[in-house]
Amino acid sequence: MRLAIGSNASSVWWVNGQEVIGIYDDRQTVIDDGVSRRLTLKKGPNIVRGAIVNGGGATDFCVRFLDADEKPLQRYVLTLAEPKNAR
């Protein structure tokens, strides 16, 4: 699979602790603006973490997993959680 992202400013993304994609400079959010190299998810929980720079005003981002045919992965369960030491 690949991690595909977009953000309206710079962002960096990690999967299971490894940096896999980053886009830089002030920009408008575009779906799949950055796409990672091929990744293999481990069995069980996988952690995806993103850091987005908000240069001013509203911020937004999008992220999805793509299969080998560049189609969105389906039938996966996602859980959103704030990191324990985020504040």
Residue at 11 is within a domain: yes
Range of the domain at 58: 2-66
pLDDT digit string, tens, across residues 1-57: 999 999 988 899 999 999 999 998 878 888 889 999 999 989 988 999 999 887 777
Q: What is the pTM of this model?
A: 0.82
Residue 69 has pLDDT above 80, yes or no: yes
Residue 20 maps to a domain: yes
First to last CA, the chain: 32
For the CA atoms of 10, 59, 65, 14, what is the dihedral angle to 10 degrees? 50
76 falls within a domain: no
Please check the confidence at residue 87 and state whether its pLDDT lies above 70. Answer: no
Number of domains in the chain: 1
Is 46 contained in some domain? yes
Q: In this structure, which amino acid lies at residue 19?
A: E
